[in-house]
Amino acid sequence: MKVRLYTNTKTRWNENWNPYGILETAPHKGYKDSLITGKPNGHWRTASGSNDFQQVFYKKIGIDIVTETAFNYPYPSTSEKILRPLINKRMFLLVGPPHTLKFIKTKGFKTFEPFIDETYDTIEDPIDRMQVLLQEIDRLVTLPIDSIRKAVLQYADALESNFQTVMNLETVETEKIVQRLSNI
Amino acid sequence: MLEIDHDFDLLKQQLLDTKKPIFEPKDFYLAEDLHGNYYLPHCNYSLTTFNLVRTFQEVDISLNRCIIFTNQPGYINGLKALIADTKELPIVFDDCWSVFDNNCLDTPAWQDIDIDAHAIQRHALTMLGEPRVHRNALYNHIQKNNYFDKIATSYRGVDEG
C-alpha cells in the first residue's frame, strides 16, 4: 500500500491559486536592472565579503518589494528574503502568505503604516491579496521620489530599530529554543 | 526535510536504523521544515508534513519522539489534522526564523549603514527569484505598466539570492 504522496516539484500544488487567469501570471525570460550589481549572495553563511554587495545598491532604493517563497499558504512564513530590508534599513512590502507582517511584529520589528497601506497582510484570498498589493505598488510608484526619501527619514527610528532587532534575532531565538529544550 | 523531500524511504531507513524497543525520555528525532511547498487545496498541511507523519507511522515510531523546527507559526494545526491522538503529536518550535538553514545571519559581516535618503534613486527594488505564480504576477505588472524606471527589478534567479 502506498502511504506517501509525491508531486512534481515543478507543479507545486500551492502555486495553483490563479486557475482562471484573473491575473497575468505567465513566466518570462530573466531580467536584471543595471542598478542591481554583484553576484548572487547565495546563503548567508558565505564568506563575509559576498554579503556586502547588496548594501551598495540597497542605499539607492526606498522600498524593498519582498517576494517570499510561499504566497498561497495557510501559515505565515519568513525566510532570508525579508531579512534583507531589515538589515539594510529600508521599508518593505511583503508579497507572502497572509499574517506574515503580524508575525514579524511579534519578533519586535516595526512596519511602515500609514505611509504603506498594510491591509494586504490581513487578506487571506490570494487573488484579492495580490490585487491589493499591486494597487498599493501603483500608488507608491506614482509618488514623487522625494516623498519616498522623506518617508525613509520619517521612519528612520523604525529602520534603526529593525536593524538592531535583526542583529539580535539569532541570539534571541537560540536562547528561546535552548530554554524550551531544557524544560522538555 | 529538504534532503528527503523527494524520497521518504531515506527517512524510513534512518528511522529503522535508529529505532529502539523503548526510547529514553530525552531521545528525540530532530527535523527542520522551512520549505512551504506542496500545500494541497483545503488542507492545512503540506505533502512534506503528510509524508513525514506517514513514514513515522509506517515504522511504528510515535511522532512524539520528534521535535520539528519550522518558520511557520501554526504548523501544529496541520499535524493535528493528521494525528488524531494529541499524545502522539510531535513537539513543534514554529517561530524559528533565523537559526536554521540559509536564514542564518552572518551578523559581523553586515555593516551598520547610515540612512542616507539623498542616495535613493528609485522608489523600490524587487528581487524575484525562481518563477512562481506570485512573482510572475508582480513581474507582469511591472512590465505592463513600465515601472522599470521606478522599481529596480531582477527576475528568474538573477541576483535574487
pLDDT classification of B95: cutoffs 50, 70, 90: confident
Mean of per-residue pLDDT scores for chain A:
86
pLDDT classification of A159: cutoffs 50, 70, 90: very high
Would you kindly state where each structural domain of chain A is located, as residue ranges?
13-31+62-182
B57 close to A (CB below 8 A): yes
pLDDT classification of A49: cutoffs 50, 70, 90: very low
SS3 category, A22: coil
Amino acid A50: pLDDT? 44
Chain A neighbors of B138, CB-CB under 8 A: 65, 67, 95, 130, 133-134, 137
Higher pLDDT, A4 or A51: A4
Tell me the shortest Cα–Cα distance from A182 to chain B, in angstroms: 10
Task: Check whether the bond before A114 is cis (ω within 30° of 0).
Answer: yes
Q: What angle do CA A138, A143, A149 make, to 5 degrees?
A: 125
Amino acid A57: pLDDT? 84
B160: pLDDT strictly greater than 70 = no
Q: In a mutagenesis test of the A interface, which of B94, B122, B125 is the best target, namely the one with the most A β-carbons within 10 Å?
A: B125
Tell me the shortest Cα–Cα distance from A97 to chain B, in angstroms: 10
ipTM: 0.90
pLDDT classification of B138: cutoffs 50, 70, 90: very high
Strands (E), A50-103: 61-67, 91-95
Residue A73 buriedness (CB in 10 A; 0-12 / 13-18 / 19+): buried
SS3 category, B92: strand
- As given in the structure block, the three cell numbers for residue B104 are 542564518
Q: State the virtual CA torsion across A158, A142, A94, A43 in degrees, nearest 10.
A: -90
Amino acid A48: pLDDT? 43
The string over B47-68, giving b where at least 16 C-beta atoms fall within 10 Å of a residue's C-beta and e elsewhere, is bbbbbbbbbbebeebebbbbbb
Pair A78, B101: CB distance under 8 Å: no
- As given in the structure block, the three cell numbers for residue B6 are 523527494
| Mean local confidence (pLDDT), A93-100 | 96
Mean of per-residue pLDDT scores for chain B:
86
Amino acid B34: pLDDT? 79
Tell me the shortest Cα–Cα distance from B15 to chain A, in angstroms: 16
A114: pLDDT strictly greater than 80 = yes
